[in-house]
Amino acid sequence: MSETRKQLGYLTEQLDAMRAAGTHFRLRVLDDQQAPICHYDGKEVINLASNNYLGLANHPKLIEAAVEATKKFGAGSGAVRTIAGTMRLHMQLEERIAAFKNVEACVVFQSGFAANAGTVSAILGKEDFIFSDELNHASIIDGARLSRAKIKVFRHKDVAHCEELLAEVQNEPGRKLVITDGVFSMDGDIGPVGALAGVAERYGAIMMVDDAHASGVLGRHGRGSIDHFHAHGRVDIQVGTLSKAIGSLGGYVCGSRDLIDFLYHRARPFLFSTSHPPAVPASCLAAFDILESEPDRMERLWRNTHSFKATLASAGFNIGGQNTPMSETPILPIIVGESAKAAEFSRALFDAGLMATAITYPTVAQGKARIRTIVTSEHSPETLAQAAEILTATAKKLAIL
Ligand SMILES: *Cc1c(COP(=O)(O)O)cnc(C)c1O
């Protein structure tokens, strides 16, 4: 064994432990487009695992926009935004998103992860305080850690607990930031954005919302949770993603002109990582047009959400609401409990023709492992009926139902 191999032997041990616990996985490989029925590892499956909520990832207009932009402006941008890599299309997209969100300005990052981590770490320092929902996304947690601010975690959606934590340090000098997901990615429930904004106002705290799963899903034409709660003007920092319902790649921050100008100067992923290739902003621009011109996509998304949820509930599945939150969005978990069982369920579903990923510890708490299903606007009622049959038959076989 080489020296390096010996040095990394502890990783092999940890992988062996995952294998023993039944939670080790292999990446499933998509052979064609991210569609309601597609092929993974050469097998045709119904796809309930993607975030392509509105089918925009393969909308002809996005594809055409990407191809045209690539032909005209090239395959890559060649530099970070602050050096030479800001293209006209990047600016157009930022202006388009700011207008859509009805805010002064917007900055686009390479991903939603970079947007969260880059923003929180740029605006706070070690004298400051972050008040964060216990189920907030990993990119918020990492941003909070990078900032070196003091992190106070409040119980899930517990506005009173958040207020209690704020009150404890209200006389300390640091700045305070209250932060929540708009839609929680593992349970599909909606954050109490309006109520938290009220608490933030009372304590003079900055209010920030991560709308990754709400962009294109909640609010008028998919404007997100702030629009859903009519909380316009009460949230200082709105984060969204371009990688899920918008169908492409990227993350953005919306807010005041000075917030965005500051991030242009201080957000490290913006300063030190190359900007998107032209195909990305071009396809995103096409996506925002479609959000406004094809409202039927959101209508179908919500119709599918309500009917699939009713079907799974009447089949007797634990779809949350007992010891886990109840979904209010197209993200619909089927709670299984043990990690190994959830992983086994996912594998058996795949063999039966259904792609639904197991979400296990540490992504969710011990004992709350689940299959996460996500319907899109493009699933037909027949496909969803077939998916429900596969879920029910497989669950019975494994004594989950
Ligand atoms: C997916 C997700 C992100 C990250 O977005 P990407 O564009 O995929 O990097 C951030 N926050 C939440 C809540 C998410 O679900």
Q: Is the CB of 210 under 6 A from ligand 1?
A: yes
How far is Cα of residue 381 from the mean position of the Cα atoms in its chain?
A: 25
Q: What is the pLDDT of residue 51?
A: 98
We find that the CATH architecture of domain 22-51+295-397 is Alpha-Beta Complex (3.90)
- Ordered strands of the 43-47 beta sheet: 37-40, 43-47, 354-355
For the record, the structure tokens of 229 come out as 């709660």
Closest CA to 132 of 72, 175, 196, 39: 196
Q: How far is 132 from 257, CA to CA, in rounded Å?
A: 25
Fold of 59-293: Aspartate Aminotransferase; domain 2 (3.40.640)
**Cβ distance 121 to 146 under 8 Å?**
yes
Most ligand 1 atoms within 8 A of CB, residue of 135, 187, 244, 252 to mutate: 244
At 21, the pLDDT band (50, 70, 90 cuts) reads confident
Task: Determine which one of 157, 213, 276, 341 is catalytic.
Answer: 213
Q: Is the CB of 116 under 6 A from ligand 1?
A: yes
Q: Is the CB of 238 under 6 A from ligand 1?
A: no
How far is the centre of ligand 1, averaged over its atoms, from the C-alpha of 184 (Å)?
A: 10
Q: What are phi and psi of 41, to 5 degrees?
A: 50, 35
| Residue 1 clears pLDDT 60, i.e. is over it | no
pLDDT digits (tens, 9 = 90+) for 136-174: 999 999 999 999 999 999 999 999 999 999 999 999 999
Q: Whose CA is nearest to atom 5 of ligand 1?
A: 112
Q: How far is 283 from 354, CA to CA, in rounded Å?
A: 29
User: Which atom belonging to ligand 1 lies closest to the Cα atom of 211?
Assistant: 13
How far is the centre of ligand 1, averaged over its atoms, from the C-alpha of 133 (Å)?
A: 16
Q: What is the pTM of this model?
A: 0.96
- Classify each residue of 141-158 as buried b or exposed e, where b means 16 or more C-beta atoms within 10 Å of its C-beta: bebbeebebbebbbebbe
Q: Is the CB of 324 under 6 A from ligand 1?
A: no
Q: What is the pLDDT of residue 88?
A: 98
For the record, the structure tokens of 346 come out as 């996912």
Q: Is 396 tagged catalytic? A: no
Q: Is the CB of 243 under 6 A from ligand 1?
A: yes
Report the percentage of the chain scoring pLDDT > 70. 99
Alpha helices, DSSP H only, in 8-152?
Answer: 9-21, 60-73, 88-101, 112-123, 138-147
Task: Determine which one of 50, 132, 139, 185 is catalytic.
Answer: 185
User: Which atom belonging to ligand 1 lies closest to the Cα atom of 182?
Assistant: 13
Q: What is the pLDDT of residue 6?
A: 86
Q: Is the CB of 215 under 6 A from ligand 1?
A: no
Q: Whose CA is nearest to atom 3 of ligand 1?
A: 112
DSSP state of 360: -
At 3, the pLDDT band (50, 70, 90 cuts) reads low
177, containing H or E segment: strand 176-181
Q: Which residues, including other chains, have CB under 8 Å from residue 20's CB and lie 6 or more apart?
A: none
**Cβ distance 75 to 206 under 8 Å?**
no
How far is the centre of ligand 1, averaged over its atoms, from the C-alpha of 356 (Å)?
A: 19
Closest CA to 140 of 364, 40, 131: 131
Q: Parallel, antiparallel, or unpaired for β 105-109 and 251-255?
A: antiparallel
How far is the centre of ligand 1, averaged over its atoms, from the C-alpha of 45 (Å)?
A: 25
Q: Is 244 tagged catalytic? A: yes
Q: Is 126 tagged catalytic? A: no
| Residue 31 clears pLDDT 70, i.e. is over it | yes
**Cβ distance 226 to 239 under 8 Å?**
no
| Residue 191 clears pLDDT 90, i.e. is over it | yes
pLDDT digits (tens, 9 = 90+) for 101-143: 999 999 999 999 999 999 999 999 999 999 999 999 999 999 9
**Cβ distance 211 to 183 under 8 Å?**
yes
Indicate the domain borders of the chain: 22-51+295-397, 59-293
How far is the centre of ligand 1, averaged over its atoms, from the C-alpha of 358 (Å)?
A: 18
Question: How far apart, in Å, do the first and last CA atoms of the chain sit?
Answer: 48
Q: How far is 23 from 28, CA to CA, in rounded Å?
A: 14
Distances, alpha carbon 40 to alpha carbons 4, 111, 203, 350, 354, in Å: 34, 24, 50, 9, 10
How far is the centre of ligand 1, averaged over its atoms, from the C-alpha of 112 (Å)?
A: 5
Q: Is the CB of 251 under 6 A from ligand 1?
A: yes
Burial (CB count within 10 angstroms: exposed 0-12, middle 13-18, buried 19+), residue 173: exposed
For the record, the structure tokens of 321 come out as 């609401």
Q: Answer yes or no: same fold for 22-51+295-397 and 59-293.
A: no
SS percent in the chain: helix, strand, coil, step 5: 45, 15, 40
How far is the centre of ligand 1, averaged over its atoms, from the C-alpha of 241 (Å)?
A: 6
